[in-house]
Amino acid sequence: MSQSEPKKLLIEDLAGFPSQKYSLQKKNSSGFFVRVATFDQPVSQETVFKEFGPGYFILKATKPRFSTVWKSWLGPPPEEQLDESKKVQLSLKRLDHKTNIIGLGVIATAAGELIGFPLAHLRFVAIENKIDQIVGVLQTLPANSLHCPACNTALNYMLQPTCASCGVQLTWPKTLRPTNSRVQPAPFVPVNQG
C-alpha cells in the first residue's frame, strides 16, 4: 500500500457523514493555526495554493470528530520565511543593544547627579560661609562719614541694617563704580515701610 491509498480511504470514509464540512487552517506569523475557509468537499493542495497563496495549511474533516485529511507547506520553501525571521531577530538584537546603551547612559547620569549634587551643595555652603565672614568683618569697620538719609544721624558701623536713631531700614548699594578720587559716601535710599 502506498501513502496515498490510506488518505483516499479516509476521505471516502468521511464523505459518508451527512453534512460533512472541511476546515482549512493556516499557520499565522505567530505560529498559531487560524481558520481560513470551510468547504463542503475536500479541496486539493493545488486549489488551496492558487486561492490562498503560500503557507503551511491543514485540511481537517469535522465529523465525527476533527481529523486531518492533509497538511503541507504550499508555495516557496520555508527557508525564505526563515530569512525574514532572522531579519526580525537581528532587528530585535539591535534594539536590545540600543536599550542596553541607553540604560547605561541613564545609570551614568544618575551616578553623576549623585556625586555632583552634594559637591555643588558643599561649594555653595563654602561660598555662603565666606560671604558671612566678609559681612561680619565689614560690620566691625566704623562708618566714619556715613549718615542716615532720614535723620542725618551718623551710622555706627558698615552694613548697618537700620538707623539706631529713627529705625529707618537702610539699603546698601550692591555695586559701586570705581572712582579715581577719594571714596565718597554712598547714597542711601530709605525703604518705605507702609
Tell me the per-residue pLDDT of 17-66, one tens digit each, with 9 for 90 and over. 678 888 888 888 777 888 888 888 888 889 988 988 888 888 898 887 88
Q: Coil, strand, or helix at residue 24? A: strand
Q: Are 61 and 20 in contact (CB under 8 A)?
A: yes
> pLDDT confidence of 100, banded at 50, 70, 90?
very high
Closest Cα partner for 151 from 140, 138, 162, 143? 162
Q: How far apart are CA 147 and CA 161, in angstroms?
A: 13
Residue written as grid cell 542725618 = 152
Q: How far apart are CA 84 and CA 76, in angstroms?
A: 13
Closest Cα partner for 23 from 52, 74, 57? 57
Q: How far apart are CA 85 and CA 93, in angstroms?
A: 12
pTM of the model: 0.35
Closest Cα partner for 63 from 29, 102, 18? 18
Preceding peptide of 64 cis, ω within 30°: yes
pLDDT > 90 in the chain, percent: 15
Amino acid at the residue 158? M
| 189-190 vs 67-74, strand pairing mode | unpaired
Residue 189 pairs in a beta bridge with: 171
> pLDDT confidence of 127, banded at 50, 70, 90?
very high
Q: How high is the pLDDT of residue 98?
A: 92
Q: How far apart are CA 172 and CA 146, in angstroms?
A: 11
Q: How high is the pLDDT of residue 103?
A: 93
Give CA separation, 129 vs 112, 122, 132, 134, in Å: 26, 10, 5, 9
Q: How far apart are CA 158 and CA 174, in angstroms?
A: 13
